[in-house]
Amino acid sequence: MKFRNLILAAAVAALPLAAQAATIIVPAAGTGPGANNSQWQSELTLHTAGPREMTVSLTFHQGTNVLGPVEVTLQPRQTLSIADIAKTKFGLSGGTGAIVIDVADRDAKTLAVTSRTFNTSANGEFGQDIPAINAADAYRLGDIAAIPGPSVASYRFNAGVYAVEAAKITWSVLRADGTVAATKETTLAAGEHAQFGNAIEFIGATKQGNDTIHARLTEGKAIFYGSIVNATDDPTFVPAGRTREDITINFAGVDLDENGTVDIADANGDGVLDAPLQIVTSMFPDYFRVVAEGEFGETVSYEVISSPAQTEFLDANGTVTVVASGSVKGKSGEILLRATAGGSSSVLTIPVVFK
């Protein structure tokens, strides 16, 4: 009994850490001298709408180096700005990085975070808002972070990344007409920040107006951003847009007698056959053909995800065999198939009734 109590106590103690923490990231912040004798700094502003005191933990990530943590406590409904945070909280005299804010889940619900990075030069003071992003909203496999560059090629164009998990990234430069000018791979450790000052050149091309950077993850999760600085050192933050390049897989339906005509359709295009397929329970197999193609006529390959009966693809043409034993007679269920074309996949659902 004593042993059991100990295990319970350990499980309870471990819960709050695992289940109730949120991470919010300001993907770019900095301090110190910039181009053309300018001086940069970042101000972080925290507000809680909550009726209770709360504490956040701040770290500053430069490459794989992590400065901090520094704890900041907010009183109920307080708004607090931290001037030149990279310098005043983390002791940096120059550099760029990401601010990572760790906060209990309950407190994250009450917290608003903004930041402003501005630049003082002979031309005046110019600033940009850099929004905070929840780690739960990081980009993942299949997403393309699209970072559109300036229409004026001479403006400075930076791109940056913060890896929420260890990440492998393929960067590419797309010209205004969609042709790919260069690609490059990078690998980041979990918690690593990187900013590329001349991003188009870093990837391997010479910049032109309306270049767009695509960042694709082949492993892990990350947050991406860009920034543009014009000839008078006026910066503009460029949020990455979450995009995809999937082709649509059109599921026509099933051809029951394999004569080339669809007998039960997916007319509303939701990937679910519009009426159930009747399958006779028997020791002999039932056959039908799945009819689907990519939106540009691509051939589809199939696999069975799950089925209430023994289900296999007989050929590359989509012919399926189902052997349903008497044990499922009178029951209904769904056969789930994965259809893949041109690197894109979608799930096709075939409702079935066993006779």
Question: Which parts of this chain interact with Ca ion (CB under 5 A)?
Answer: 255, 257, 259, 261, 263, 266, 268, 270, 272, 274
Q: Which amino acid is present at 93?
A: S
- Least spacing, CB of residue 275 vs Ca ion, in Å: 9
- Least spacing, CB of residue 291 vs Ca ion, in Å: 9
Q: Which amino acid is present at 11?
A: A
CB of 137 or CB of 257, closer to Ca ion: 257
Contact 42, 7 (CB under 8 A): no
Nearest alpha-carbon partner for 142 in 248, 215, 251: 215
**Number of separate helices (H) and strands (E) present in the chain:** 4, 27
What is the length of the chain? 355
- Least spacing, CB of residue 288 vs Ca ion, in Å: 9
List helix spans (H) across the chain.
Answer: 2-19, 85-88, 105-108, 199-203
Q: What is the 3-state secondary structure (H, E, C) of 120-146?
A: EECCEEEEEECCCEEHHHCECCCCEEE
CB of 49 or CB of 267, closer to Ca ion: 267
CB of 247 or CB of 272, closer to Ca ion: 272
- Least spacing, CB of residue 313 vs Ca ion, in Å: 18
Q: Closest residue (Cβ) to Ca ion?
A: 261
- Least spacing, CB of residue 256 vs Ca ion, in Å: 6
CB of 105 or CB of 270, closer to Ca ion: 270
CB of 5 or CB of 259, closer to Ca ion: 259
Contact 88, 70 (CB under 8 A): no
